[in-house]
């Protein structure tokens, strides 16, 4: 590669990550997916990569896995699973604190199976009318939904897009990944409840004032046959995941089965797919391959190698710190893609991958813009509820430091088994 192409690749990378980090630059109508796509096109247009090399750079396994899970979740939503869960909460006489516990547990554990971004997308519009009917301050519960979905998502390869990427690039089995990160999730969810309950202790001390919910206010009719079929398909997929069948094939295969037996037009499920997220991922892979071809990644690897060649405790602590900072500069998904070569070069890549999964996901709780899940909750709630940056940060900062501290400690203890 010529010197001009090397320089071009670095400039394009900086251009792309400016839009990822800043997200909305005044006067420039480019968001994260659009900025990444422009960067990918420039990598080809300037000769850094050929068009064929750009095609090869795209990680189709991760995209197929994400697409399959989105389609399966769409069928669960059409079957009424998430509204049924909300109806169960609405019919129970819950104190504000107990409702908080349920929101954290449900969003946390469902995110481990169905992708945290999707859980936030589906639950936010369901949770709002429930809170309105109980005349409760929605802010602590919405923050709990976002933060718990991030914490729960780190437990499973299916939990979030960056974990899907890690699952496809590491040799860690689905069961081992789940087993080693579950303790961090369980402790993290308990800390989530404790931190929010302490910060909003006055709001949670007031008893709820329920208002009768009409049949059409919150709970549309559940399609029981479709829901049973969808849950059966999910159960089969989980068995295949634990049996170490190819993740992308299982996910897209589950979606294909639902196309055949779901008795709903597949186009209804396709409408619920977040196509911009898929475009963002594909573009990001091309940009990173262009940067890798330039040699800049190799130079950075050689310079930082001494920091990541120490004891397991040092590796976990240093990599977690780097990931925490990087995830809040450029978001957690790009941070994982960016750090992949560093993890592959470690003496114990499995420990590095688990550290990256833990720290990149939990780092998303630090600020309002730290993860896509946070942004989804805020944007869907905005017509009714305004969550400011500082309102979120007073929970997120404490929670992130506590949970990453727990994560580092647990992984250091588990390092002897890796």
Q: Where is average pLDDT lowest: 65-74, 120-129, 215-224?
A: 215-224
pLDDT tens figures, 170-181: 989 999 999 999
What is the distance between the alpha carbons of residues 321 and 323, in angstroms, rounded to a whole number?
Answer: 5
Closest of 276, 62, 273, 277 to residue 157, by C-alpha: 62
Among 27-36, 39-48, 54-63, 331-340, the range scoring the smallest mean pLDDT is 27-36
Q: Is the pLDDT of residue 57 over 70?
A: yes
**2 pLDDT band (50/70/90 cuts)?**
low
Query: Per the structure block, which two tokens stand in for 292?
Result: 């890798």
What pLDDT, on a 0 to 100 scale, did the predictor assign at position 232? 95
**Residue 214, pLDDT above cutoff 90:** no
**pLDDT averaged over the chain?**
85
Q: Who's near 85: CB < 8 A, 6+ residues apart?
A: 106, 126
For the chain, what percent of residues have pLDDT higher than 90?
39
pLDDT in tens, 231-274: 999 999 999 999 989 989 999 999 999 999 988 999 999 998 88
Q: pLDDT per residue over 132-159, tens digit each?
A: 888 889 999 999 999 999 999 999 998 9
User: Cα separations (Å) of 325 from 75, 330, 391?
Assistant: 37, 9, 21
Q: Is 1's pLDDT higher than 60?
A: no
Question: What confidence score (pLDDT) does residue 266 get?
Answer: 92
* Whole-angstrom distance, CA of residue 361 vs CA of residue 400: 10
Nearest of 214, 69, 198, 195 to residue 129 by alpha carbon: 214
Cα 232 off chain centre by: 24
Q: How far apart are CA 120 and CA 353, in angstroms?
A: 25
* Residue 248 CA: distances (Å) to CA of 89, 313, 356: 34, 33, 21
Evaluate if residue 293 carries a pLDDT over 80: no
pLDDT at 391 over 80: yes
Cα dihedral value 339, 344, 345, 347, nearest 10: 120
Please give the model's pTM, rounded to 2 decimal places.
0.82
How confident is the model over 26-51, as a mean pLDDT?
Answer: 82
Question: What is the per-residue pLDDT for 334?
Answer: 78
Contact (Cβ atoms closer than 8 angstroms) between residue 13 and residue 39: yes
Please tell me which of 84-88, 95-99, 338-342 the model is most confident about, judged by mean pLDDT.
95-99
Residue 195 has pLDDT above 80, yes or no: yes
Higher pLDDT, 410 or 27: 410
Among residues 191, 262, 269, 207, which one has the least CA distance to residue 231? 262
The Cα–Cα gap between 43 and 34 comes to: 14
Between CA 172 and CA 180, with CA 176 as vertex, the angle to 5 degrees is 110
The pLDDT tens digits for 283-292 are: 888 888 887 7
Token reading at 5: 């192409």
Asked whether residue 304 carries a pLDDT value surpassing 70, the answer given is no
């Amino acid at each position: 590669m010529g010197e001009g192409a090397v320089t071009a690749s670095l400039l394009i990378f900086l251009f792309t990550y400016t839009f990822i980090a800043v997200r909305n630059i005044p006067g420039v109508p480019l968001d994260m997916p659009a900025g990444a796509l422009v960067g990918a096109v420039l990598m080809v247009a300037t000769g850094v990569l050929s068009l064929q090399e750009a095609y090869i750079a795209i990680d189709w396994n991760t995209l197929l896995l994400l697409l399959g899970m989105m389609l399966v979740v769409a069928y669960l939503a059409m079957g009424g699973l998430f509204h049924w869960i909300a109806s169960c909460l609405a019919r129970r006489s819950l104190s504000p604190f107990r409702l908080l516990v349920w929101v954290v547990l449900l969003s946390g554990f469902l995110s481990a199976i169905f992708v945290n971004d999707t859980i936030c997308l589906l639950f936010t519009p369901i949770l709002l009318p429930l809170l309105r009917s109980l005349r409760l301050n929605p802010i602590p519960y919405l923050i709990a939904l976002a933060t718990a979905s991030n914490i729960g998502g780190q437990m499973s390869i299916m939990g979030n897009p960056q974990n899907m990427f890690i699952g496809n690039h590491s040799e860690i089995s689905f069961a081992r990944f789940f087993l080693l990160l579950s303790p961090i999730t369980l402790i993290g969810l308990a800390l989530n409840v404790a931190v929010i309950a302490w910060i909003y202790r006055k709001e949670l001390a007031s008893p709820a004032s329920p208002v009768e919910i009409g049949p059409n206010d919150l709970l549309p009719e559940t399609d029981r046959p479709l829901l049973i079929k969808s849950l059966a398909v999910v159960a089969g997929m989980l068995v295949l995941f634990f049996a170490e069948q190819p993740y992308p094939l299982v996910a897209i295969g589950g979606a294909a089965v639902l196309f055949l037996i779901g008795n709903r037009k597949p186009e209804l499920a396709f409408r619920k797919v977040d196509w911009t997220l898929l475009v963002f991922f594909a573009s990001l892979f091309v940009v990173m391959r262009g940067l890798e071809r330039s040699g800049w990644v190799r130079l950075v690897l050689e310079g930082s190698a001494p920091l990541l060649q120490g004891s397991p405790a040092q590796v976990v602590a240093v990599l977690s710190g780097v990931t925490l900072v990087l995830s809040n500069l450029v978001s957690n998904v790009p941070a994982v893609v960016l750090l992949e070569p560093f993890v592959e070069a470690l003496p114990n890549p499995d420990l590095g991958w688990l550290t990256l999964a833990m720290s990149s996901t939990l780092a998303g709780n630090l600020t309002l813009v730290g993860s896509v899940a946070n942004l989804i909750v805020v944007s869907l709630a905005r017509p009714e509820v305004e969550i400011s940056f500082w309102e979120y940060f007073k929970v997120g900062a404490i929670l992130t430091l506590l949970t990453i501290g727990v994560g580092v400690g647990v992984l250091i203890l588990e390092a002897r088994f890796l």
